[in-house]
Amino acid sequence: VTTAGAAGDGSDLRIPIGISAHHVHLCRGHVEKLFGIGHQLTPLKQLDQPGQFACRECVDLMGPRGQVKNVRILGPERRRTQVEISRTEEFALGIDAPIRNSGDLDGSPGLTLVGSSGRVEISEGVICAKRHIHMTPADARHFGVDPGEHVLVKASGQGRELIFGDVVVRVSHDYVLEMHLDTDEANAGELFSDSWGQLVRLAK
């Protein structure tokens, strides 16, 4: 295993790490059921990926075993409601959510969302996000990877160095280079929002 790039120290293969806490994407109909007819989500903070933003609105998640309170809504609205939680939260809720790419929701479990003006029971849409790297086509050429490819990324946390496998590469002109991990993954590697990962090249 080597992480050496052209510079020899691997610095040209560095990838910023972004940590995604539990969050919810809502469809228009569910925004209105949870927050009132005609309600528009209120942007609170722009996220690193262009066009994505955290909202002022939060919901409580209720599962068969327990609940997770004050879960942030991320905008803009989507065609289908999607709940992204960590394995730890799956245990708290009593739900076994599959590891999925964003938007791949068929056959996933549901739960109940509670907002300030109402509640919604969804029959599916709860996933544990598959770890991934957002990058532009130019980044993909730089790293020598293809869209949809699975790669290894070494993260050097404080005394908890970890190599993540099954990291899917997602390529779009609209993306900014960033590897997204959930809170369980970040905690396992002692990683924070200013941490970096490094693409690992397997010796052929």
Write down the least CB distance from residue 102 to Zn ion, Å: 7
115, 195, 110: which is closest to 158 by C-alpha?
195
Give yes or no for residue 180 binding Zn ion (CB under 5 A): yes
Write down the least CB distance from residue 183 to Zn ion, Å: 14
Write down the least CB distance from residue 166 to Zn ion, Å: 15
What is residue 136's DSSP assignment? -
Phi, psi of 15 (to 5 degrees): -135, 125
Q: How many residues bind Zn ion (CB under 5 A)?
A: 1
Closer residue to Zn ion, CB minimum distance, 96 or 174:
174
Side-chain-side CA neighbours of residue 59 (13 Å) = 31
SS3 for 170?
A: strand
Taking CB under 5 A as the binding criterion, the range among 88-96, 119-127, 143-151, 175-183 that sits at the site for Zn ion is 175-183
Taking CB under 5 A as the binding criterion, the range among 75-83, 87-95, 107-115, 177-185 that sits at the site for Zn ion is 177-185
Give yes or no for residue 130 binding Zn ion (CB under 5 A): no
C-alpha–C-alpha distance, residues 177 and 170, integer Å: 10
DSSP string, 59-82: EEEE-SS-EEEEEEEEES--SS-E
The site string for Zn ion over 140-169 (x = CB under 5 A, - otherwise) reads ------------------------------
C-alpha–C-alpha distance, residues 119 and 80, integer Å: 16
CB nearest Zn ion: which residue? 180
Closer residue to Zn ion, CB minimum distance, 33 or 180:
180
C-alpha–C-alpha distance, residues 131 and 163, integer Å: 12
Q: Which residues of the shown chain bind Zn ion in the complex (CB under 5 A)?
A: 180
